[in-house]
Amino acid sequence: MRKTGLLFSLASLCFTAPVFSASSDTPESRDKFQTTFLKRQVDQNMSVGRAIRSIASHYPQDVVSIVDIALDTYPDQHREIIFAAISAQPASTEEIVQLAIAKDVSSCAAIVKLAITAEPSYVDFVVQAAANSTPEDLDEIVRVAVLTEPDSADSIVQTLSQEHPNKFVQIMTTALNTVPFVGEYVVDAMLAVFPDEADTVIETAVRESASEREQVLKILNTAQHAGVPDSKLRMYALAAGISESDFTTHVAGK
C-alpha cells in the first residue's frame, strides 16, 4: 500500500502543469511524455478508465490532452476513456465530445449516447458539440439524445434550435416522433425562445402528436398558458381531430 502510494507520488512529481505548458517543449516531446506517463498510470491502476479518473482528479486542466493521447494509445478502449473523463471532469464535456468525434473513434450517435450517460446534466453541451461537429447528423443527434435523456428533451430541443434556428421545425419533429409524451414541455420551451414563431411551434407539435389525443390537449393547454388566443387553439384542435365539445371542456373552459 505504501509502495503504491510512493510510486504515485514520485510520478506526480514528474507530471506538473508547467511540464505540459512549457513553451520550450516541442509538441512531440510533450506527447511522448504524456504517453509515457499515461501508460505508467494505466499499469499502476490496472485500467485505463481508473487511470484517467486519477489523472483528472489531480490535473483537471490537462484532462482533454490526456484523453487525446489515450484515444490514440488505447483506441479499442475509447468507451471507457470517454466515460471516465467526462464523469471525472464534466466541465470538459464539450471538448471531449468534439475530440472523440474528430478522431472518429465511433459514430457520432454512439459518442453522444455515451457522453450523456456519463454525465446527464451536461446533455446540452453534448448535443451542441456534436451538432457543431457533424451538422449532417442533426436528426440522429436529436433522436439519440432524447431517447437517452427524455427528461431533458425540452432543453435539448431548445438548445439545438437556438444554435440552428433555421432547422427548429426539423428538430422538433424528430424529438416528438421519438418521444411523443414530451410535447407539452417542448412547446413550452420553444415558445419561450421563439415567441414570434408560435403558430409554427404549435402546428408542428399538434401535427406530430395528432395520434395521441391526450398529448394534443396538453399541448393546447400549454400554448394557452403561454398566451395563445383560444381562437387559434380551436383551429389547431379541430385540425388534429379534437371535437368542439372536447376543446371547450378541456381547453377553452379552463
Confidence tier at 36 by pLDDT (50, 70, 90) = confident
Confidence tier at 20 by pLDDT (50, 70, 90) = very low
Burial of 203 (0-12, 13-18, 19+ CB in 10 A): middle
Alpha-carbon distances of 238 from 129, 220, 231, 241, 249, rounded to whole Å? 40, 11, 11, 5, 14
Other CB atoms within 10 Å distance of the CB of residue 194: 16
Is pLDDT above 60 for 22? no
Per-residue confidence (pLDDT) for residue 217, from 0 to 100 = 93
Q: Report the distance separating Cα 163 and Cα 253, nearest Å.
A: 37
**Residue (of 170, 233, 167) closest to 199 by Cα position:** 233
Is pLDDT above 90 for 30? no
For the entire predicted model, the pTM comes to 0.84
Is pLDDT above 70 for 198? yes
Per-residue confidence (pLDDT) for residue 31, from 0 to 100 = 73
Cell of 190: 420553444
H-helix or E-strand spanning residue 133? helix 123-133
Rg of the chain over Cα atoms, rounded to whole angstroms, equals: 24
Per-residue pLDDT, averaged over 14-25, amounts to 45
Confidence tier at 27 by pLDDT (50, 70, 90) = low
Mean of all residue pLDDT scores within the chain: 88
Per-residue confidence (pLDDT) for residue 129, from 0 to 100 = 97
pLDDT tens for 144-197 read 999 999 999 999 999 999 999 999 999 999 999 999 999 999 999 999 999 999
pLDDT tens for 110-123 read 999 999 999 999 99
Cell of 23: 513553451
Per-residue confidence (pLDDT) for residue 33, from 0 to 100 = 77
